Structure 1
Amino acid sequence: MLTTGPRGTKDILPDSCGYWQYVEQTIREVCRSFAYQEIRTPVFEHTELFLRGIGETTDIVEKEMYTFADRGKRSITLRPENTAAVVRAYLEHKLYAGPQPTKLFYIGPMFRYDRPQAGRYRQFHQFGIEVLGAKGPAVDAEIISLAVRFFNKLGLNDLKLFINSVGCPECRPVYRAKLQEFFRDKVPNLCADCQSRFDRNPMRILDCKNETCTTHSQGAPHMVDCLCEECTSHFNGLKELLTAAGINFVTNPRLVRGLDYYTKTAFEIQYAPLGAQSAVCGGGRYDGLVAECGGQPTPGIGFAIGIERVLLALEKQALLPVITSAVDVFVAPLGIKTQAAAFKLLTELRQAGITADMDFMDRSLKAQMKYANKYPAKFVALIGEDELEQDKVMLKNMETGSQELINRAELVHMITEGMEK
């Protein structure tokens, strides 16, 4: 039906846009205080970028990407996440030639063919952070503290931070061998996806949400027990820095996240009341991604926060701000002859920085006053034929009910003065 949007999409209506603007404003304020700059990448990229960047064994690539051939028969994909796109932009525009590290943030829509449910859509929106060029645990701690600061500024409580280390190319093969040994006799009992992952990427079995796979993965070896000296030092350094910053965390050895590019630090922030969709922030380090995308080896780390889930959490905690569509002045023309004068007055009010609107429906005076009261409007400026001839305006204060006939040239000053009282 033409009157129904595609499944998994959602219109953000005028009465909700104010909530989105509030969250986006908070994002920009926090990022500015941490000296991060905004980047905006295209909503579609060459498919190969995501195949190489995200990893072909991930659910995103195997099941969820919106991929199509364009008119030039090139394979194009709507971005399912933005880290790979930011890395591509970092390389294409030689951002590595500027002062390092490069600290970026983004806000925008992502696309995944997924089963829609509360807090999960096929077009959804993310706020994300990416830092390229810094390898120490201090920057890991910084972006986690940025995420915590964002949630705290919104007033959100009952959040839990989980951290883990997923190792590096040096120590991960050791863990891979131990995982395969653990799962070898359990493979027939795993889901089809995890049976495939056994040879390609057994760590992904730990991320499977299938109850049978979750049960059979109980008792699996932990990556933290297989870390090399460098990864151990990095992880211990992160925990020390978070503790110094007063940020509470829980070490979760099963946390691997859903993307193949993660190395060393992986973390997630959860809000339990959201149930199955409790993860409101997830991220980690990706020291091999820039090289995988064609650049020189460059360390990187980032996170993404689902804005829809943040809004759900704010709603559950009654933290959504009061949004009003009130105007300062509603101009009420009375009759066709006053339309031009009313529109001129409306223009002057707006040019003076005053929020104003007028009647465009040829309503009666009674209907206009009723409409202005529902808007609501602080003042109503009535222009009838008598006022037009005298170059005056009848100004009514909608709160007190008082009204006064004033010179039209004095209106802006009167409104400004009345708003300040």
Structure 2
Amino acid sequence: MDDLSLSAQLGLLALLILISAFFSSSETGMMSLNRYRLRHKAKSGDKAALRASRLLARPDRLIGVILIGNNAVNILASVIAGAMFTKLYGDSGVWVATGVLTFVILIFAEVTPKTIAALKPESIAFPASLVLQPMLVVLSPVVRFVNTLSNALARLFGVDAAKHTGEEHLLPEELRTVVFESGALIPSRHKGMLLNILDLDQATVEDIMIPRNEVDGLDLEDSVEDLLECIRSSEYTRLPVFEGDINKVIGILHLRKANRFLSSNIESFSVESIKRYADEPYFVPEATPLPTLLKNMQQRKARMAMVVDEYGEVLGIVTLEDVLEEIVGDFTTAGEDDSSEEITEQEAGWHLIEGGTSIREINRTLNWDLPTDGPKTFNGLAIEHLENIPDANISFYLGRYLVETVQVTDKVIESARVRKIGKD
């Protein structure tokens, strides 16, 4: 070093600082890459992403080659700085070199390049991979030796770097956070659908079924005239067929099939005609998760299922439309009367809610957080809270919600006005 002029030593020192900055920024840039974006780009054929993916497949080797280069450069820089400042200041030059070089490396070779790389990882990591990949090949024997020693030490702490595949997987909760925080990258409607799909596992058939007291069906013990009127006036395309009681279901009649015996000869219409064209009923337990129900309905090509409890009693029905509405929101059904909506907005933040409205529907429509781990309807939730059925209209607090009953019978709360109190 003594043979070099002071200006040459200064120039060499500046070059080494730049190389050190390259290694520091490469390390941070590589480790800050979004693995899922990188995987997407690699599958799309992006050459830079493919190089980075191969390097990150073994992060122990990548870090090894970066640190070998970075430490070698920093040590050489310290030797040059020591020689240069010793020539200028004598024996005290070592201390001056230590202070100056520490400050210069900290600012120009560590903090600044790493900050830039953390904010713009792809802009740093992709070009750096052009240098790091051949370096890894050239320094492979040294890297393997260093990794063998470091991996042996890591195994003492229960970490086996050799088994690391470089792949990461998101848990459902983590994926939900990614979708929720995607901002404008995903349209709000699509974001809502994705979140609904992720929440589908948390719902069961019981949460979305139509209760038996609201089910329209064909009771074969009714007169032929009543059966005809029910078929002609029905707003639904499928009707359960039973004998006397809905627990005695014998099939599901698609009204498209009913046209076959209604349009031909109306005098020949009979109970036997309904039985002949009715499809075999499909029964599902009330605790069936919605993803399981959807899969089974696809396999069976079923559009409606009868929901039963553990004793085999029919609790209600569930349709494919009900499941899909959990994902995409409510469908607009022809013939629906707007006046029969279960949730009606009123003044000053009040909402008129029918007692039979499901808690999940209320939460989804109004963005509320009523508890869903107990009763499934608003009437059930209110009665559970009160522990009795009120004799007259009353008001009460249901957590953060003020409830005023509007119509009460001796069996249920038919409707109530509800307003959220306080802010989230």
Q: Establish whether TM, by shorter chain, passes 0.5.
A: no
TM, length-normalised to structure 2: 0.16
TM-score of the pair, normalised by structure 1: 0.16
Q: Which has the higher strand share?
A: 1
More helix by share: 2
Higher relative contact order (CA 8 A, sep 6+): 1
